[in-house]
Structure 1
Amino acid sequence: MRATAVRRTALVAAAASMTLLATACSGSDSDAKGDGGTSGGKDDASSKPAAVKALTSAELEKASLEQGDVAGYKVSKTGPEDIAQPGDVTVDKKECEPIGFAFYGVKRGTPAGNAGRKVVQEPKKDESADPEDLLAGMLDITSSLVTLASYEGDGAAKSLAELRDSAAKCTGGFTLSMKGSKQKVTKLTEEKVTGGDEALAWRVQAGEGEEATPFKLVSLRQGGTVATFFSFNLGKTGADADFDQPTAVIDAQVKKLG
């Protein structure tokens, strides 16, 4: 990859990423969040879990990822600057609100507790003397916002069902507005994912052509807790660009949820 191409890739991806993530993509210690994602799991989405008592925010903090839980990733807590308030985000299609809100961590339903983490892949070591290859390697890292939201009774199952229904109606795209800054989601493609009692996943494309940027959205339910992972990779742009789901992060979080 030539230097100019690398610079263009970085700028385009960074711009899209900041629009969707930097201002407010996660839950935090102070705000209860509900999120969702797309495709396989242990149970069918229509199955109803047994009555459960929702975990408190303090209990979710203990069940959240910590530094050292995922090899090759840096883990840190989310803060107030990572939180999107309901009034901050609008979606041009009502039926797309649940899936659109999930990108920003906007509260859905009535979660009883929440917690959030930022999980960033460490750059791969490259002994190459080519500065272009070194830069490309530094950009090729996956960053994720991980949010946990707990619900009483069947609230977690309903949260995922709502998300699945919203995504099915919005595969052709929709427009998000975050405090007046618009971002066009042009395609939503369901993917396969495993974990928890049920799990959902999508490839989310923002923009079109060479300036398109892929994101990954995964949401799963473990008992009465919904874990959502919204990820991007600065080294990937273009309509055909893609990157792997952060399976190591997902598996580690499911393990901690028990």
Structure 2
Amino acid sequence: MRVKATWRAVLVTASALFLTTACGASGGGSDGKASAPARKSSSAAARTALQRAALEQGDVPGYQVSADTTAQGRSRPQADRRPCQPLADVMGDQPNPQARETVNRGLGSQRKLGLAVAASLSTYARPDAEKLIRDLRAAVAACTGFKVELGGTSSTYGRVTARPYRIGGDESVSWSASSTQVNVETPVHIVVVRQGATIVRFMTINLGAPVQGRAQELVEVPRDVADKQLEKVRRVLSAP
């Protein structure tokens, strides 16, 4: 299965919440203090650095890697419960509105048909990156289920459960959930990692043989993908 076909299936099955703007990079907020040319230069430099640190074809054996450059609107997913909004945000085109720049990648497994991984890198002001992790931990603890609206599409997420996941970085949060559409539950695993002021986000879904009325077996962010991405972030973004 071609990775773009797999990634598109992720978008459809998970209510188009995974990488709704799956382009190479998207601009985020600004502190408003720098001049417009300075902000533009800084933004371009950050975007270039993220592109170099993002996964590329050949980085992880057994996966096809794609950067989807389809132009789409940057709508923000809306949760039906305020405490759950961070969980809705993280499934959008960027982890939350405070992201300054975001680069997205899609990976399709060549060994396990239907296994798709969305990986993104985002730059933040460090306090905003730290707050994102705190907000996600609080949301996972407070929300066992919620509904999300995006672009006229509604989806229900249930079985939200904190999940141990060993990974590098300064700190991380991991949880499982199920996306329900037309009485079909599809399991999702999401891991968000902070490395300095960079947020690395992984979302995994298995589209193989959905089961009517109940969730499939749990999926997990592949460790070879996560380890390679974190290694590349440390090597590229920490370089002088």
Per the shorter chain, which TM-score range? 0.7 to 0.9
Tell me the TM-score normalized by structure 2: 0.76
Letter in 2 for 1:102: V
- Report which structure shows greater RCO (CA 8 Å, sep ≥6): 1
Alpha-carbon distance in structure 1 between the residues aligned to 2:71 and 2:204: 18
Match of 1:29 among 4, 25, 32: 25
Partner of residue 182, structure 1: 154
Look up the match of 2:215: 239
Instruction: Select the residue among 149, 153, 164 that pairs with 2:122.
Output: 149
Q: Which runs of 5+ in 2 are unaligned?
A: 1-8, 30-41, 235-240
CA distance in 2, matches of 1:254, 1:167: 23
Residue 102 of structure 2: aligned partner: 114
Partner of 1:213: 186
State the number of aligned residues: 209
Q: Structure 1 residues 90 and 245, CA, compared in 2 at 3 Å: closer, same or farther?
A: same
- In structure 1, what is the Cα distance between the partners aligned to 2:89 and 2:225? 22
**CA distance, structure 2, for counterparts of residue 165 and residue 27 of structure 1:** 29
Does residue 191 of structure 1 match 2:187?
no
Match of 2:33 in 1: none
Q: Aligned match of 1:97 in 77, 85, 96?
A: 85
Distance 2:100 2:201 in 1: 16
| TM-superposed deviation, 1:206 | 1.8
- The higher radius of gyration belongs to 1
Output aligned runs, 1:17-56, within 5 Å.
Answer: 17=13, 19-21=15-17, 24=20, 26=22, 28-32=24-28, 56=46
Residue in structure 2 matched with residue 128 of structure 1 by the alignment: none
C-alpha separation between the residues in 2 aligned to 1:150 and 1:109?
11
Q: Are 1:28 and 1:79, in contact at CA under 8 Å, matched by a contact in 2?
A: yes
Identity %: 26
Over the aligned positions, Cα root-mean-square deviation in angstroms equals 2.9
Label 1:145 to 1:14 Cα distance change in 2 as closer, same or farther (>3 A).
closer
Tell me how far apart the structure 2 counterparts of residues 150 and 22 of structure 1 sit (CA, whole Å).
Answer: 19
**2:176 partner amino acid:** R
1:168-221 residue CA offsets vs partner (Å, 9 max, x unmatched): 1112x0101121111111220111122211111111112299721101111001
- Residue in structure 2 matched with residue 46 of structure 1 by the alignment: none
Partner Cα separation in structure 1 for residue 161 and residue 52 of structure 2: 33
The structure in which a higher percent of residues are strand is 2
Which residue of the partner structure matches residue 136 of structure 1?
none
Structure 1 residues 102 and 26, CA gap change in structure 2 (3 angstroms): farther
TM-score, normalised on structure 1? 0.71
